[in-house]
């Protein structure tokens, strides 16, 4: 079979845009069975130095300032959308209009309504999509999902998820778009807790039906930045400060369709944990624990009759775990965050080739957005809110063909 060339366009070359680019370039080595050559056709960024970097250092053939020039380029077959939250809906809808399959970072929009329009539009257009729920691609998470599915820990009774980070813990951190309600939507709910909602639904193959929540804003104003940074990087700031428009912290109680109970918590202003993203799953016959800060380790307890040996086994990810051997030869040699994005890129590109949805879909993005939306509403009125179901293809409830 002859190899196919897929032309790639990347929109916005910040942290995620560069990571998407590296992930596309890694496919030939990590997934040699995918019969494709990646061609980096064009990068779009409003910052001139980023455009120059794309051509000089990353290998793009050209760089442009307007994303419409990416979507109209006949050599571009697929698009990565890595712009700030408030641009996601506009760019995704334009990609749908142009008929371009797209890989978009989460959240897909700043509201469930925006995510719904993207998901329905993509499905109506018959487009393969991918959403940046990268934590679900950790081999330890895939193994946890398999253990739950085979019933090894019994009937699932409850789960706990917390995503506690410190990237916004300094009150001197710049007032970027992330802290503006009109540009970011919610704060830590969309930035971190959306990942938690997806992890729960993916590992348990179950969906949220209702939530109740409380939020807190602890750093109410921040200094205005004097320059544009990348990701959560430090930049120069002025002496003037402006108000923060969204929450720093959220705590959630939730129920799933099966009756499983869930607690979730997230903070962007913690002092201590750096990126403590944890899921715990409890069943009648055992439990599982995973922490992103130690992403190659899965803690497993199966059975409750082991006497003085009762407790967790620390299992290191190894070639026995789904996908691990593509990146490392044996247990104890760790995969990293960037590798999870390579898995995501592989699922997206293979899906485009096969016209089959393998990776997290726009439907998954919408499903998480509905959880986020119900959390926001609950925090406002302090009551339980139902989570609206979605009517497009999701992948959290079926097995993935590209895990091995």
Q: Are strands 208-216 and 385-386 parallel, antiparallel or unpaired?
A: antiparallel
The pLDDT score that the predictor gives to residue 3 is 86
Q: Can you tell me whether residue 159 is helix, strand or coil?
A: strand
What is d(CA 137, CA 339) in angstroms, rounded to the nearest whole number?
A: 9
Sign (positive or negative) of CA dihedral 83, 84, 85, 89: negative
What is d(CA 250, CA 15) in angstroms, rounded to the nearest whole number?
A: 25
Residue 233 has pLDDT above 80, yes or no: no
Percentage of the chain lying above the pLDDT 70 cut: 97
DSSP string of 39-104, one letter each residue: EEEEEE-SSHHHHHHIIIII--SEEES-HHHHHT-TT--EEEE-S-HHHHHHHHHHHHHHT--EEE
Residue 199 has pLDDT above 60, yes or no: yes
Average pLDDT, integer, range 340-359: 97
Give the Cβ contact number of residue 37 at 10 Å.
12
Sequence-separated (6 or more) residues with CB below 8 Å from residue 236:
225, 226, 227
Inter-residue contact 255 to 196 (CB < 8 Å): no
Residue 404 has pLDDT above 70, yes or no: no
The pLDDT score that the predictor gives to residue 83 is 96
Residue 403 has pLDDT above 60, yes or no: no
What is d(CA 83, CA 79) in angstroms, rounded to the nearest whole number?
A: 12
Residue 66 has pLDDT above 60, yes or no: yes
Average pLDDT, integer, range 6-14: 97
pLDDT band at 401 (very low <50, low <70, confident <90, very high): low
pLDDT band at 399 (very low <50, low <70, confident <90, very high): confident
What is d(CA 392, CA 127) in angstroms, rounded to the nearest whole number?
A: 12
pLDDT band at 324 (very low <50, low <70, confident <90, very high): very high
The pLDDT score that the predictor gives to residue 231 is 62
Average pLDDT, integer, range 16-41: 97
What is d(CA 177, CA 161) in angstroms, rounded to the nearest whole number?
A: 26
Average pLDDT, integer, range 145-166: 98
pLDDT band at 232 (very low <50, low <70, confident <90, very high): low
pLDDT band at 76 (very low <50, low <70, confident <90, very high): very high
What is d(CA 86, CA 106) in angstroms, rounded to the nearest whole number?
A: 11
Inter-residue contact 54 to 23 (CB < 8 Å): no
Inter-residue contact 136 to 165 (CB < 8 Å): no
Residue 400 has pLDDT above 70, yes or no: no
- pLDDT tens, 78-127? 999 999 999 999 999 999 999 999 999 999 999 999 999 999 999 999 99
The pLDDT score that the predictor gives to residue 50 is 96
Inter-residue contact 262 to 278 (CB < 8 Å): no
Inter-residue contact 195 to 277 (CB < 8 Å): yes
Let me know how long the chain is.
Answer: 404
- pLDDT tens, 242-287? 999 999 999 999 999 999 999 999 999 999 999 999 999 999 999 9
pLDDT band at 235 (very low <50, low <70, confident <90, very high): confident
Inter-residue contact 223 to 168 (CB < 8 Å): no
Inter-residue contact 157 to 258 (CB < 8 Å): no
pTM of the model: 0.95
């Amino acid at each position: 079979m002859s190899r196919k060339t897929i032309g790639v366009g990347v929109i916005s070359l910040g942290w995620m845009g560069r990571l998407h680019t590296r992930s596309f370039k890694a496919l030939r080595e990590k997934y040699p069975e995918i019969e494709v050559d990646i061609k980096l056709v064009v990068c779009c960024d409003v910052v001139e130095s980023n455009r120059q970097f794309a051509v000089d250092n990353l290998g793009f053939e050209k760089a442009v300032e307007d994303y419409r020039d990416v979507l109209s380029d006949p050599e571009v077959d697929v698009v990565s959308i890595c712009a700030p939250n408030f641009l996601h809906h506009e760019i995704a809808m334009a990609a749908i209009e142009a008929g371009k399959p797209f890989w978009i970072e989460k959240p897909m929009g700043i509201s469930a309504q925006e995510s719904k329009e993207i998901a329905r539009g993509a499905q109506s257009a018959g487009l393969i999509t991918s959403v940046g729920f990268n934590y679900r691609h950790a081999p330890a998470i895939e193994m946890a999902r398999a253990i739950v599915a085979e019933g090894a820990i019994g009937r699932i009774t409850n789960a706990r998820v917390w995503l506690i980070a410190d990237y916004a813990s300094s009150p001197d951190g710049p007032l970027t778009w992330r802290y503006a309600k009109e540009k970011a939507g919610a704060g830590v709910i969309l930035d971190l807790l959306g990942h938690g909602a997806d992890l729960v639904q993916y590992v348990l193959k179950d969906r949220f039906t209702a939530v109740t929540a409380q939020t807190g804003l602890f750093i109410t104003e921040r200094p205005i930045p004097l320059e544009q940074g990348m990701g959560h990087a430090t930049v120069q700031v002025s002496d003037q400060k402006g108000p923060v428009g969204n929450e720093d912290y959220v705590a959630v109680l939730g129920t799933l369709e099966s009756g499983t109970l869930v607690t979730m918590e997230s903070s962007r202003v913690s002092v201590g944990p750096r990126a403590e993203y944890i899921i715990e799953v409890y069943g009648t016959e055992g439990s599982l624990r995973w922490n992103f800060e130690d992403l190659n380790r899965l803690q497993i307890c199966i059975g409750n009759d082991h006497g003085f040996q009762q407790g967790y086994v620390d299992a290191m990810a190894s070639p026995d775990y789904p996908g691990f051997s593509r990146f490392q030869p044996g247990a104890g040699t760790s995969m990293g965050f960037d590798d999870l994005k390579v898995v995501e890129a592989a699922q997206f590109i293979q899906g485009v080739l096969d016209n089959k949805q393998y990776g997290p879909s726009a439907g998954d993005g919408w499903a998480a957005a509905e959880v986020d939306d119900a959390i926001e509403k609950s925090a406002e009125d302090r009551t339980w809110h139902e989570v609206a179901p979605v009517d497009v293809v999701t992948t959290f409830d079926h097995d993935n063909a590209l895990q091995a």
